[in-house]
Structures are given as structure tokens and as C-alpha cells.
Amino acid sequence: MSKEITSRAEDYSQWYNDLVIKGQLADYSAVRGCMVIKPYGFALWENMRDALDKMFKDTGHVNAYFPLFIPKSFLSKEAAHVEGFAKECAVVTHYRLKNDPNGGGIIVDPDAKLEEELIVRPTSETIIWNTYKDWIQSYRDLPLLINQWANVVRWEMRTRLFLRTAEFLWQEGHTAHATKEEAIEETKKMLDVYADFVENWMALPVIKGIKTESERFAGAEDTYCIEALMQDGKALQAGTSHFLGQNFAKAFDVKFSNKENQLDYVWATSWGVSTRLVGALVMAHSDDQGLILPPRIAPWQVVIVPIYKGEEQKAMIDVKAKELIASLKDKGIRVKYDDNDNARPGWKFAEYEMKGVPVRITLGARDLENNLAEIARRDTKEKKSISMDGLPEQISDLLEEIQQNMFNRAKHYRDEHITPADTWEQFEKLLDEKTGFISAHWDGTAETEEAIKDKTKATIRCIPLANKQETGKCILSGKDSVQRVLFARAY
């Protein structure tokens, strides 16, 4: 059939692309490196966004919006920051087009050159801190807890749907605090919010940790992260939260008067997750038949497929289906009734499996006679007929069970793929054959980290929070080490 999916075993990358395209999440666009997020994919993102947005509000944050364009001079105010992003910035140089006098269509008007070029934001620290300077005078103005939902552009060489596109959607939180301790607390709090969201809504277990210097966000003192494991054994950074110290406050001269009326620079954090999470979701849970979406964020939690011969049966099933839909909606369940007569039931079964709808209810004339409905769950592919009495309650429970099962399954896989290595031979063998996270000693130097990356393509994903302190010898250099860190090949 036209909708066949490449199997994971055959070609994992192609499998992923097939799921995104054939599951109707997104499409390639006419613009290199940019994708179109289709309605089904966007509905998924909206559910994720809404859940996160509520969590941000519940922790005292408010939303605002800052400009897409950033004056070039702003970006260069923080040295490490500009160095981190300079290589991948889109630059606006002109503000007008005109008809080509030589008849070549539309051209950029050379007379409309901007005095100062504008950078399309790769992230908004600079424009935001330039603004905060005017908003903050006193400790009474702090903390400032602002988030924005926005698009950003990073001109990537190589792109992949959702995982790495030139333009992507995200949220970026930017907070200002009176003390270092409070800023660090905020950084960790938001990391907890991310972990909570990804684990409880996306059913994807994560490891909370801190990045090494070379993996740290450009301009940060410390970068905290949550790392998830995909089914091919590669790690994926699912979210980051940065303690920015006073770096941006100093670069943009943001000072406040404390209670003792002394001037000091404010302390900052920033944190973000992006549409990349959609990619993580796809790669972590799905199978060779298509997507498997966790109920809490699935656009449709239940699909009802009627099976009938002729208008008479259809009318009877419609009546029963409408009752069922009403009672499911009463329970807050997102349900779709697919009574489209152009597609056969078998086609619909395959289609909704492709799209990862957690539960399918099949309703036929035979079922009606026996007061039954056939329910099929996407995560285990189990099918059974159950009584229509009390069905909404059972569906509600089933959705919760699926959510749990998906998390447990992913966690089991993840836990099975954290393996200690004590020799270099073992380290390389595990990376190639078992994959996943390798827990190994590291001497703490960027040189060794780089050397390991060159040899194996594996990077240090993070130093887990509350990591066990344990003396040992570095896996590569053999020098003294005080703790194990997590290595993996990563997206």
C-alpha cells in the first residue's frame, strides 16, 4: 500500500521520517530546512504547549512577547553568547523590494539597505535583557518571571523534521532575581517542571543533570538538562534550564537597589523546550505500524469506527454512538467519530493506528444486538469486547492505564540501557553493540571529553543531579575521577 512504513530494523531514520509524514504531523516545505506543521501535528503541539503553559503560570510566570528582530550590536554584547550563535544566524540587510529595471522580476532594492542589520532571533536573551534594563530599578521589581512562546531561527546545515529545523517553535523563560541562590533555585525549579511534564504528560522518562563546560549554553554559568533515550539507543536532550549568573546583567547593565540601597547586578535564568519534543515523542514510543501517542496529549484519545451495512444499520449505530460520544465528552475525553462512508473500516483501523490514537472503539450491528463494543488499545494492540454499560468509566480508566504503561515501557527500556563501563574496550563495545547511556568515569577535562567524542562520536550527556560520588579512573586517560558521568551518542 501507499502508506507502508519502513521498519525500525531496516532504516531507523527513514522509519522516523515515514511516521512524521504519514502520521500527518508535518510536511517538508518549499523552504529549505523549514517544515510545515500540519493540523494533526499542531494539535499535538498545542496540547503540549497548553499543559506547559499552565505549569508555568502555576509557578508564578507570566507570558509576554518580544521582537523577532534583534539589532546586530545586541548580540555581540555578551562574548560567549555571540560566539555560540554567530555561525547560524539569519540576517536582515534590506527593507524593500522593487521591480528589476532590467525586467528580471523582483529584486532587493539596493537603496533600501539597513543602517544596522537585524538578526532573526536564534534566542532572545539579548533583546530581553536590553528591555529588562528599563524595567528593573529596585529589589521590589524582582523577581521578574517572564515566558514567551515564539519562533526562532537557527541556520542549520542539516535538518530533520521536528528534531532540527531552521525555524522552530518553542518557549523561552527569562527571569531576573535579586540573589544568586534564588536564581539557581529557579533554574532547578524549571528543570523539575520540564521533567514533570515530559514524564507525566509525554510518558517519557528523563534523567536530570548538568552539562559539562563544552556542552553548556553560550553565555550560561551552568546548564541543566533533561536527557531522554530513543528506541535506537541514542540520547536526546529534551529541555534545558540555564543559570546565567550576572553575565547578561553585566552585558546590558541591569542593576537594582537592594534593601540596603546598594546597587548590584541582577541574577538571571533562561529555560526552554521546543517542537523538538514532538520528535522525541515519536521516536520514543512508536512502532512499525505507526505513531503511539500518550493519552494525555493525544489530539484524539478515542476514535469510534462504525461498522454497518446500509442506511438502516448506520442510523441505529449513529444513535448509540452519539450517546457514547456525549458521555465520553462529559468525562473530558477527546473523541472522534469517523463515520466517513468513503473509507472501509479496515482502512480506518490502519489509519488511526498510523496516527497513534490510544483507543479505538468499534461499533457494529452485531455489537448493538449484544450491548457490546469492541475496544482496541494502540499501545499493546489488544482487542476485546466489553459491555456498553459503564463503558465511559472503563475507557477513562483504560486511557490512564495506557499512559502508565507507555511510561513504564519506556522507563524499562531506558533503565536497561544505562550500563557502567570500566575499561575503554568495554566502553566502545557497549556504545556500538548495546547503545544507550554508558556510565563511566571521566577526568573532568574538556580535552578528554573531546578526545572521546572524536574516537566514538559519544558525548557526555550530563552529570546526573545528586550523582553518587565514587573514586575511580577515567575511562580514557586513566587519571583520577570522583564520579561517573553519562555518555551516549545523541541527536
Segment interacting with RNA, rule: CB under 7 A, options 99-107, 181-189, 291-299, 357-365 = 357-365
456 sits near RNA (criterion: CB under 7 A): no
C-alpha span between 413 and 164 (Å, rounded): 24
Considering the complex, state which of residue 138 and residue 380 has its C-beta at the smaller distance from RNA: 380
Note whether 42 and 36 are within 8 A (CB).
no
CA dihedral 476→481→486→488, nearest 10 degrees, is -10
349 sits near RNA (criterion: CB under 7 A): yes
Grid cell digits, residue 99? 521591480
Grid cell digits, residue 431? 556504545
- Among 295, 299, 364, 436, the residue binding RNA under the rule CB under 7 A is 364
- Among 215, 222, 443, 449, the residue binding RNA under the rule CB under 7 A is 215
Considering the complex, state which of residue 90 and residue 490 has its C-beta at the smaller distance from RNA: 490
- Among 69, 413, 424, 491, the residue binding RNA under the rule CB under 7 A is 491
96 sits near RNA (criterion: CB under 7 A): no
CA–CA–CA angle 319, 325, 326 (5° rounding): 95
Tell me, letter by letter, the H, E, C secondary structure of the chain: CCCCCCCCCCCHHHHHHHHHHHCCCEEECCCCCCEEECHHHHHHHHHHHHHHHHHHHHCCCEECCCCCEEEHHHHCCCHHHHHHHHHHCCEEEECCEEECCCCCCEEECHHHEEEEEEEECCCCHHHHHHHHHHHCCEHHHCCEEEEEEEEEECCCCCCECCCECCEEEEEEEEEEECCHHHHHHHHHHHHHHHHHHHHHCCCCCCEEEECCHHHCCCCCCEEEEEEEECCCCCEEEEEEEEEEECHHHHHCCCEEECCCCCEEECEEEEEEEECHHHHHHHHHHCECCECCCCCCCCCCCEEEEEECCHHHHHHHHHHHHHHHHHHHHHCCCCEEECCCCCCCHHHHHHHHHHCCCCEEEEEEHHHHHHCEEEEEECCCCCEEEEECCCHHHHHHHHHHHHHHHHHHHHHHHHHHCEEECCCHHHHHHHHHHHCCEEEEECCCCHHHHHHHHHHHCCEEEEEECCCCEEEEECCCCCCEEEEEEEEECEC
63 sits near RNA (criterion: CB under 7 A): no
212 sits near RNA (criterion: CB under 7 A): no
Considering the complex, state which of residue 285 and residue 441 has its C-beta at the smaller distance from RNA: 285
Considering the complex, state which of residue 254 and residue 391 has its C-beta at the smaller distance from RNA: 391
354 sits near RNA (criterion: CB under 7 A): yes
247 sits near RNA (criterion: CB under 7 A): no
347 sits near RNA (criterion: CB under 7 A): yes
Segment interacting with RNA, rule: CB under 7 A, options 25-33, 191-199, 329-337, 478-486 = 25-33
Amino acid, res. 33: G
- Among 9, 32, 134, 471, the residue binding RNA under the rule CB under 7 A is 32
Residue 368 has a CB neighbour count (10 Å cut-off) of 18
Segment interacting with RNA, rule: CB under 7 A, options 43-51, 341-349, 418-426, 472-480 = 341-349
Q: State the minimum distance, in angstroms, from the CB of residue 59 to RNA.
A: 22
486 sits near RNA (criterion: CB under 7 A): no
Q: State the minimum distance, in angstroms, from the CB of residue 312 to RNA.
A: 11
287 sits near RNA (criterion: CB under 7 A): no
Residues in the interface with RNA (CB under 7 A) total 63
164 sits near RNA (criterion: CB under 7 A): yes
Segment interacting with RNA, rule: CB under 7 A, options 163-171, 191-199, 426-434, 471-479 = 163-171
102 sits near RNA (criterion: CB under 7 A): no
- Straight-line distance from the first to the last Cα atom of the chain, in angstroms, rounded to the nearest whole number: 31
C-alpha span between 292 and 409 (Å, rounded): 12
91 sits near RNA (criterion: CB under 7 A): no
Cα 155 from chain centre: 19
Q: State the minimum distance, in angstroms, from the CB of residue 232 to RNA.
A: 10
Considering the complex, state which of residue 12 and residue 413 has its C-beta at the smaller distance from RNA: 12
47 sits near RNA (criterion: CB under 7 A): no
260 sits near RNA (criterion: CB under 7 A): no
Segment interacting with RNA, rule: CB under 7 A, options 74-82, 304-312, 434-442, 462-470 = 304-312
320 sits near RNA (criterion: CB under 7 A): no
Q: State the minimum distance, in angstroms, from the CB of residue 333 to RNA.
A: 19
Cβ contacts of residue 90 below 8 Å, gap of 6+?
119, 120, 153, 155, 166
- Among 129, 139, 308, 487, the residue binding RNA under the rule CB under 7 A is 308
- Among 6, 7, 17, 257, the residue binding RNA under the rule CB under 7 A is 17
383 sits near RNA (criterion: CB under 7 A): yes
Q: State the minimum distance, in angstroms, from the CB of residue 344 to RNA.
A: 4
Considering the complex, state which of residue 266 and residue 402 has its C-beta at the smaller distance from RNA: 402
Q: State the minimum distance, in angstroms, from the CB of residue 267 to RNA.
A: 22
Considering the complex, state which of residue 29 and residue 138 has its C-beta at the smaller distance from RNA: 29
Binding site for RNA (CB under 7 A): 1-4, 13-14, 17, 28, 31-33, 84, 87-88, 154, 156-160, 163-166, 168, 215, 217-218, 237, 240, 274-276, 289-290, 307-310, 341-342, 344-347, 349-351, 353-354, 362-367, 374, 376, 381, 383, 457, 490-491
